[in-house]
Structure 1
């Protein structure tokens, strides 16, 4: 009895520390709710959802007054519903995505606990909360938080179906798979299912893949994404006269099943890129911070002990997906987001078995120190009025974290790495973005126009990405300008366009000038207040008459 009590008390203390770190991680990730929607993709998606909520048309996706064919409908439906509840605001745009990110954390924990242990599950969740690119995606919100949550949720239930043959898991796995398809496209099913297929092949149980439960899961998945097919058919396939990608006769269904996914992979679709087979190898070094070194070590351990491995679902799924992404001609860092929950579990499992490995502890404390320094550097470069207070606070947090969790175990190393990542990203989310939001000029123009009673509406020229922030935040009608302009128009445009219109005989009177920068693509020269002016463009609000 005397021995059990201290052990029980220690367990409670460890659980309390875990709960506190999880709460802090959620709060820092949710701090993105306080920052503006960032252009280009974020404001573009926010505007499409605003058009949907405002018009009441839940089938046709439109942008700039034209049909828009790129991403599936589900994120726009969820965002439009949020607008109906909370109004047209950054908070309403980001909240559904962040709730899906929470779903991803919950299922990361559940899968790690089911497959390994409570301890591994706790490590995996702490890692999930601190992954650099997930934190970035919760500030610059696009489709990734939705996809991250839906994919790991689907994998969890399909994994349970694979092991237990429960029909309930077939239904839930198919439901979340259908949601993932209606977020990104049919290609995502390969990411969800590849690990299970690889594990079955390694085990020599390929016949099990044709068990009726899997046919049921496939059929249900198709049923769950039928709404997307219906919308695409109604908007595009029923109207071959519509001009999309500069041509008529575009099939929404063909785009969904081939051009948007496999077409990008083979570079045969309307949206093209140039691939680099090593792109994701070096992208992971920063995108999966502070766990990237541990992840590469985890892969090494898995292959070194591959004959003892009793499960290839996670390892196979991650490696196959990385190879697939690397072979693609169209590559972007955020494609990796769907893999991070699996990577966290893989890394946590290896880390849990190396509690006192000194080099691992040293590496994590070294990375943590660099992240704390990055936070301090960010405060210095931002040059805010209370910067010295923030600087002192970050310094105290860094010293306090190491003092509270000394470098004696990998568990402490994970805790300190988590805190370092949260502190650095908290600096950028809570201090940097509020300080620079004014350089996303569409926001400032919207504020200006909203306060001017003599400006009934604002006009923009199609094709400028800066329009989307204005269109989202403006409380007055935003029109897309057509020429020739017969009446007086208040127009948001670039200086070179104003010059061109003047040359065409229009009277262009500048009302306001606004500094502009693409703030979702930060550079050191822009962050540094002393050199920021060198990086700025300019936009204008003009009164245009013939």
Structure 2
């Protein structure tokens, strides 16, 4: 269906709520992604590994080959590392600078979802209705635990997810505004550009996933004719290749088969066909994760999907004539195909389905505030679904409030951080969280009592989670850092200062990759005594030992170090912070 020309939208109707909407968007993104961004030390192990690669690339001034722990590292392509290296150059090396690109990427998708709602809305709709729907879509995503969590850490997941999302948003713009040259051209450019960035962020999956969604969508809705334009497709292909291929060519030239085998063979094909890094999972592995990563909004996803009646073939045939139906059906395919794709893979991690969250968020927002349809289509949610799912939401928040109140008891079971539970209790944060969750639950129950209030059930969720971001998450980060991350940083820096000539550093037990970043040197990671003895016998050079090495530094949890069963009278204890210790041991005593 041809969309109404942009000129039909009165400029005054767009400008009226613009400033308040922009202020709300800025507040959403600041609370969700930027507030206290650098207050927590690098988390082990994925974030610390990712950031260390960027630090070593910066140190070597090598923009082609990723390095980690002194070795070439091809688990991921280079886009995310480039972003962190660029941030380090602009702002210096810090946790805040490392996470800034992820926060910006997460914010770009929140703003993109808002813009998509404006672009797709009928120009005959009142401006407040259009802007309100856009802000609701942005708010749902910005207050989803999964998007917040990955938007505040430096890993490749957010770079891939944001690029895929912006590529699909761009396709939707080009598709919906295909009769208008400028928006259509911008959409095609955006799709090619962001798909190329996704390939630079993670590999071929960055093009495969958005391509799969689009191919299935165009096939089911019989709209291939709109996109079969050889000139436009060729221009998109050239832009895509021009953005992503130069690095792949340069990496192959610089590293040869090491890059081809390590990246394409191991990190892509084997990750899909084999279980890597001990991360298996059943076919339904991601279903509970969709629920958790999108709470509490995921509770409204089942009725949102049911309202589409997607199982009726007539709905897909009519989609081309009804933009109010076409968009949610596209989002449904986006959500289902991404979850299904990663469910078929052998290696499973929660972050893999992050690209599905924007689709689910917009679907929920459209259930609350459907698009205006020229023909009978999706309508506002009925009283019964609102009452049922709103009641479930209220009960869940009440249960979470109880769980928050007793959280310090669970924290007390961690032997590696025995003082954390007392510090958490003294902070008052668990009680504060319980009060906010309880207040949201009570607000939901009050709204459920009146039919007119049920269409506003989203308000307590949004307001409650924004309050949690401001009043709980922000002050929790420094507490977590002081009790759990600071000892690792301090010991790593002590290890660097205490280093003797040709003295390697070994991290025992938990793989704390942040030690590399904070010590600024390489280290060997050893799981326990059996691993140590095996590696000493077979490849001592892999442990950093040279002929001139007279001693080693050992760092780890006190219990892990004691499990090595080294002669106690031969151990020099350099420093202890809480349960973390730093030892020096003579080389001849290692095999005792």
- Do both proteins adopt the same fold according to a TM-score greater than 0.5, normalized to the shorter chain? yes
Instruction: Give matches, 1:116-135, under 5 Å.
Output: 116=121, 117-135=130-148
Greater mean deviation of Cα atoms: 285-294 or 405-414 = 405-414
Matched, 1:318 2:325: no
Matched, 1:459 2:478: no
User: 1:217 Cα shift?
Assistant: 2.0
**Relative to structure 1, is the Cα distance of residues 501 and 491 closer, same or farther in structure 2, using a 3 angstrom cutoff?**
farther
User: 1:144 Cα shift?
Assistant: 2.0
Matched, 1:512 2:581: no
Residues 226-280 of structure 1: per-residue CA shift (max 9 Å, x gap): 233034203421xx4xxxxxxxxx4x2465455433432233x977853411111
CA distance in 2, matches of 1:388, 1:270: 39
Is the Cα–Cα contact under 8 Å of residues 502 and 549 in structure 2 kept in the other structure? no
Instruction: Give matches, 1:150-161, under 5 Å.
Output: 150-161=163-174
User: 1:219 Cα shift?
Assistant: 3.1
Q: Residue 234 of structure 1 is aligned with which of 238, 244, 253?
A: 253
Is the Cα–Cα contact under 8 Å of residues 137 and 145 in structure 1 kept in the other structure? yes
**Relative to structure 1, is the Cα distance of residues 489 and 81 closer, same or farther in structure 2, using a 3 angstrom cutoff?**
farther
Residues 480-533 of structure 1: per-residue CA shift (max 9 Å, x gap): 652256355561335767886957x995422224556xxxxxxxxxxxxxxxxx
**Relative to structure 1, is the Cα distance of residues 400 and 22 closer, same or farther in structure 2, using a 3 angstrom cutoff?**
farther
Aligned to 1:359: 388
Aligned to 2:584: 542
Aligned to 1:413: 457
CA distance in 1, matches of 2:508, 2:73: 13
Q: SS at 2:212's partner residue?
A: helix
CA distance in 1, matches of 2:38, 2:459: 24
Q: SS at 2:75's partner residue?
A: coil
Q: Residue 260 of structure 1 is aligned with which of 261, 267, 276?
A: 267
CA distance in 2, matches of 1:28, 1:319: 26
Residues 406-460 of structure 1: per-residue CA shift (max 9 Å, x gap): 525455322221343345566355326623554345323124347x578789732
User: 1:157 Cα shift?
Assistant: 1.3
Aligned to 1:102: 107
Aligned to 1:72: 77
**Relative to structure 1, is the Cα distance of residues 24 and 173 closer, same or farther in structure 2, using a 3 angstrom cutoff?**
closer
Residues 30-58 of structure 1: per-residue CA shift (max 9 Å, x gap): 23432111011111111111111112111
**Relative to structure 1, is the Cα distance of residues 39 and 190 closer, same or farther in structure 2, using a 3 angstrom cutoff?**
same
Q: TM-score normalised to the size of structure 1? A: 0.79
**Relative to structure 1, is the Cα distance of residues 22 and 479 closer, same or farther in structure 2, using a 3 angstrom cutoff?**
closer
Is the Cα–Cα contact under 8 Å of residues 459 and 490 in structure 1 kept in the other structure? yes
User: 1:374 Cα shift?
Assistant: 4.2
Greater mean deviation of Cα atoms: 360-369 or 431-440 = 431-440
Instruction: Give matches, 1:180-329, under 5 Å.
Output: 180-212=198-230, 213-237=232-256, 240=257, 250=258, 252-253=259-260, 256-257=263-264, 259-267=266-274, 274-303=280-309, 306=312, 307-308=314-315, 310=319, 311=326, 312-329=329-346
Q: Residue 175 of structure 1 is aligned with which of 193, 196, 204?
A: 193
Q: Residue 30 of structure 2 is aligned with which of 23, 26, 33?
A: 26
User: 1:19 Cα shift?
Assistant: 4.7
Is the Cα–Cα contact under 8 Å of residues 229 and 253 in structure 1 kept in the other structure? no
User: 1:136 Cα shift?
Assistant: 2.1
Aligned to 2:479: 434
Residues 155-207 of structure 1: per-residue CA shift (max 9 Å, x gap): 11122222334223222221111111111111122322333222211222335
Aligned to 2:52: 47
Q: SS at 1:491's partner residue?
A: strand
Is the Cα–Cα contact under 8 Å of residues 213 and 333 in structure 2 kept in the other structure? yes
Aligned to 1:93: 98
**Relative to structure 1, is the Cα distance of residues 292 and 469 closer, same or farther in structure 2, using a 3 angstrom cutoff?**
same
Q: TM-score normalised to the size of structure 2? A: 0.74
**Relative to structure 1, is the Cα distance of residues 387 and 29 closer, same or farther in structure 2, using a 3 angstrom cutoff?**
farther
Instruction: Give matches, 1:369-518, under 5 Å.
Output: 369-378=398-407, 382-384=421-423, 387=426, 389-390=428-429, 393-394=432-433, 397=436, 407=447, 409-410=453-454, 412-424=456-468, 427-428=472-473, 430-431=475-476, 434-435=479-480, 437-440=482-485, 442-449=488-495, 459-461=504-506, 466-474=511-519, 477-478=521-522, 481-484=543-546, 486-487=548-549, 489=551, 491-494=553-556, 508-514=571-577
Q: SS at 1:39's partner residue?
A: coil
Q: SS at 1:541's partner residue?
A: strand
User: 1:387 Cα shift?
Assistant: 3.5
Q: SS at 1:36's partner residue?
A: coil
Structure 2: gaps (5+ residues): 1-11, 122-129, 179-183, 320-325, 370-379, 412-420, 525-542
